[in-house]
Amino acid sequence: MKTLYAFCLLCILALTSCEDEQVYQTCVVANPTQEIEWLRVKVQELQASEYCQVVQTGTWKNRTVFVLASCEPNVNSISSVYDCDGNLLCYGGDETCPDFSKEVKDLQPIWTNGK
């Protein structure tokens, strides 16, 4: 009888399926602006800007993203959204991802040029 219960339980588990969820790299490093090569290069470029620039990280559509944006007060600008590999995903605030600011989670600054 125990064998029958074990078999039934195994069948239930085998027949029950979960929807596959796409898994993305999370970029878990201690200092992303120094340890992720493409981001380090971008930060060097932003450092030279005469305007206030910021790099933020957060989660969007189940993946870690990096947002490069202006931190100038009273300036309406479009931010660039990148994945862990440095691929440009979209521009936050335009038609490529219009609801980005509503959908991104845990957005935190990780670097600013301090201007």
**Angle at Cα 77 formed by Cα 71 and Cα 78, nearest 5°?**
110
Please report, rounded to a whole number, the percentage of residues in the chain having pLDDT higher than 70.
Answer: 77
Alpha carbon separation from 49 to 10, 26, 90 (Å, rounded)? 61, 28, 22
pLDDT score recorded for residue 21: 46
Higher model confidence: residue 37 or residue 93? Answer: 37
Most confident of 1-5, 19-23, 30-34: 30-34
pLDDT tens-digit readout, 69-103? 999 888 888 899 999 999 999 998 788 888 898 99
Instruction: Tell me the Ramachandran region of residue 74: left when phi exceeds 0, alpha when psi lies from -120 to 50, beta otherwise.
Output: left
What is the pairing mode between strands 79-82 and 63-70?
antiparallel
Four-point Cα dihedral 35, 36, 38, 40, nearest 10 = -30
pTM: 0.74
